[in-house]
Amino acid sequence: MKKVIQQSVTLPTDYTVTPGSITTSTGKTLRTEEMIINMGPQHPSTHGVLRLELVVDGEIIVDCIPHIGYLHRCFEKHCEHMTNYQQVIPYADRMDYCSAITNEWGYVLAVEKMLGIQVPERVEYIRVIMAELQRIASHLIAVGTYGIDAGAFTPFLYCFIDREKILDLFEITCGARLLYNYIWIGGVSHDLPPQFIDQAKEFCAYFRPRIKMLNELLTYNEIFVKRTANVGILPKDVALNYAVSGPQLRASGVNWDLRRDDPYSVYHKFAWEPQIGKGEVGTVGDCWNRHMVRMREMEQSLNIIEQALASLPPGDVHAAIPKRIRPEKDVEVYVRTETPRGELGFYVISDGSTSPFRVKARGPAFVNLSVLPEIVRGAMLADLVLIAGSIDIVLGEVDR
């Protein structure tokens, strides 16, 4: 057998790395080459069928080009070919399938504005309660899957256990657990069942200490902090220039929430505060602050739900539902609402028929994703998963 002699080589320990080259302590320059890597479209950490084309120099990201469209379902054209306005609601559900109720609410508000419909006060309260429960359920998905992105599996299980309790409330109300078709033009499909209020109050009392537990388990975990603090920093001016919204904008220090700053429904009747990044760990606008804003928003949602349940007025939830929906010709409206991912806008045009002439959706996840290349350039390849996960995208809304 031929003997193989291995020769040991001592590499210099003092060297500097610059894009395109490595300079050793002896002054010798070693050339490096950029490489293109595809992350996705089936990679689990892209949170859906998203493909990220990465240009890397060793472990450093030089550029990132998102490729979307793998989940495109012609949402807007489907809406324009329905028989009537009411049939659009199930399609709106399927945009952000993690937050279906807030999607349909935005569309319904646009049509109600077009028709001049004033819904009963009880309907407004029920819509707020359901939307805030949906916000908590959506944030629980974001927090739980983000823990997996960082290598922590246990918080994911706790988050989904708690989310199931919210889905139980939805199920006893309208029979659905994911896609609801609950908020209708002029009202809601079902009034709250008799046991709903007590079960919702029990959930609020149960979930407050669970938020504290999740913070101890994940948010302030030493490994999680090291992986997310000072990573993927999104400065305030960049966030504004890219029209970022929602928790991602507030985590960068911008105190803006449509529920307060462009109020709709009855949010003005409740005591609550938008949550912004404070930078107590890491830097304002980094991954940790985006995570923390979502944790604090769940507490604020509990405040709103408890107040709404305590002052829920009586009334008929079907009283304002029109028998026939046919707006005037050439009427156009734009309505925006604050979903768990940010500003969701619906631009609707009527041609005088029973179906919309044009439905345009402004999806917050689509806009928020556009800033990803800006904040990953110069980051380590291992940090891309944490940065992309902190944006909390849903590809059903990105692609539509």
pLDDT tens for 236-256 read 999 999 999 999 999 999 999
**Which pLDDT score is estimated for 43?**
74
- Residue 30: is its pLDDT beyond 90? no
Superfamily holding 75-399: Cytochrome-c3 Hydrogenase, chain B (1.10.645.10)
**Maximum CA extent, the chain:** 92
Q: How many angstroms separate the CA atoms of 264 and 307, rounded? A: 17
The pLDDT mean for the chain works out to: 88
Cβ–Cβ under 8 Å, residues 60 and 35: no
Strands 29-31, 183-184: pairing is unpaired
Strand blocks (E) in 142-202: 183-184, 187-188
Phi, psi of 32 (to 5 degrees): -120, 165
pLDDT of residue 399: 86
- pLDDT tens digits, one per residue of 147-156: 998 989 999 9
User: pLDDT-based confidence at 9, cuts 50/70/90?
Assistant: very low
Task: Judge whether residue 26 has pLDDT over 80.
Answer: no
- pLDDT per position as a tens digit, 194-243: 999 999 999 999 999 999 999 999 999 999 999 999 998 999 999 999 99
pLDDT tens-place string over residues 149-182: 898 999 999 999 999 999 999 999 999 999 999 9
| Cα 392 from Cα 265, distance rounded (Å) | 26
Q: Which residues of 296-329 are buried (b: 16+ CB within 10 A; e: fewer)?
A: bbbbbbbbbbbbbbeebeebebeebbbeebebee
Confidence band, pLDDT 50/70/90 cuts, at residue 7: very low
Percent of the residues in the chain that have a pLDDT greater than 90, as a whole number: 64
| Tokens read off for 268 | 């003005």
Helix (H, G, I), strand (E, B) or coil at 240: helix
CB 271 within 8 Å of CB 294: no
14 or 280, which is more confident? Answer: 280
The share of the chain scoring above pLDDT 70, in percent, equals 92
The domain spans of the chain are: 75-399
Residue linked to tokens 């493909």: 51
Query: What are the tokens at 247?
Result: 């928790």
**What's the rounded Cα separation, in Å, for the pair 399 and 384?**
21
pLDDT digits (tens, 9 = 90+) for 267-281: 999 999 999 999 888
- Contact in structure between 182 and 188 (CB atoms under 8 Å): yes
Residue type at 125? Y
Residue 6 or 82, more confident: 82
